[in-house]
Structure 1
Amino acid sequence: MDAFKTLKDGALADGADETDDTPSLLVVILDANPVSWYSLAQKAPISEILADIIVFINAHLAFHHENRVAVIASHTDSVEFLYPTTKDNRKTKQVDPEKDANTYRKFREVDDMVLEGMARLVESTNSISTKTMMSGALSRALAYINRIQTESPLRSRILIFSLSGDVALQYISTMNCIFCAQKKNIPINVCSLSKETLFLEQAVDATGGIYIKVEEPKGLLQHLMMSLFPDQNLRKHINIPNQANVDFRATCFCHKKILDIGYVCSVCLSIFCSPRDQCTTCHSTFKVNKMRRLN
């Protein structure tokens, strides 16, 4: 017993942050591209994957009575808040009083809104596009965090469930979101369920987040609870997965292609895939003859 007392006293003496009880805000971004979800359904039913995600969200809410959560859907051509949302956007339906009697009210609200919203987005999709508006979802997540933090002090973090690949056209806007999150000390965590995402790997590395690649979706809940559940304060005391190799390749500003070697404007740092007479961003002129020697 004395050993346990000494251990406890020593831990408390290390710093006041050991007893930090600040609530946490978790903003979840769901890739809502139906084509990507259909491909993932070959490994595990979509209903089971969504159920694991909802259990993880409910666990976050149960960890602290003042914890908050927001869920954003990144669709093929739009971004939508699934939770919280206005009552006008919700479908009216008959509620089973016996089923709700044994369910925490906030859990039920999150469950219903997320499942209804995802079903509505999938049913209303007519295109077979494989892209997703991830940069727009990140922008809305950061704007929401900024608004909430002005009302009350919260430790905020973003968790992205990624199924689609990178969209080169969104590189600049995605990088702007990464720099904003880095400045605000908001870690971006990524759970990749399908394709590797170069841009999101860079986001995780720049903001001090966690990146996990789930090869078997049936074990999703275990990955979430063991790797992504702890907030910033708890991660100091556990061994968390880290990225061994991060692909830092950039995208050119002219054709939005991912480059191994490019040409950088010495004035504004814009990147191009071939020599140019003038920078399209800051309009600086280049000595093309000298640049072509490097080509």
Structure 2
Amino acid sequence: MNREIIDINDYTILLEEASTDNNLIDSCFFDEPVIAIAFYGSGDVGLNVKFDGKTKEFHHTKGMVLSFYADNMVEFEHHVSKLKSLQCLVIATAIKKIDKLPNGEGQFLEQFLYQLIHPKDHYVEGPVFNMSPEMFQLVEQFFSNTYEGEIKMMFYKSHITALLSHYFGQLAKQQSTKLDTSQIKKINLAQEILLSDLENPPSLTELANRIGTNTNKLKIEFKAQFGVPVFKYLQNERLKKAYSLIKNEQKTIQEAAWAVGYDSLGSFSNAFEKKFGYRPSQV
């Protein structure tokens, strides 16, 4: 278990990363009441939130953003296993510090997360959704950066601001579109279907039929939920998986391209460079 705690601009930043060949349960509490946003990266750890004899379970956390209010009576329990590793970035602040936050962020918290700033229980849950590709990439960079000292703090400050900007921007989009619970469930199901077979995903029409909607609604609601069109989301997920396969030396560049559905190595390399800024051979 690797855990790093950093204090920046009246925020407390918690970086947690863990993997194991066995089963591991990691529990944590907050010392004081906080408002927090948890961003789950490339791991897919299980999460149980326990308070007042109740348990809220999250079985698939990869790419999830969870906002919440919690006091010291709430236990956050991560279940780590060989196939479900932990990669979590938490941005937390105390209610008494809301007015001191930079860049007008306190105002955005009041606007979008009102129920967290005025809690009525030990644990109050705010919006839960999946990160846009831009947010996911920012979270990945927190766990892969190698800077030290003041440069590392500069990196953290700039990336926290960028990450929160994307977060509030996505909340604003959702608020303007106003997807109801049944619509969100359908769109999340569409995401699961895409991620389950990156090599041979269904067509847009097939995907719409499988979740019980039409293609026009699927396109509009998917972009509202994830910030990008269906095809762009699929492409980003393919390239992220290929990057991981190459970086961890699990496959050659050609094999990684095939594994995520690219028949042309040239097309794969061009798309890869456009997304990451360098060729696959430079990973």
Common fold, TM-score beyond 0.5?
no
Which structure features the higher share of strand residues?
2
**What TM-score comes out, normalization by structure 1 length?**
0.25
Task: Mark the structure with the bigger radius of gyration.
Answer: 1
Q: Higher relative contact order at CA 8 Å, sep ≥6: structure 1 or structure 2?
A: 1
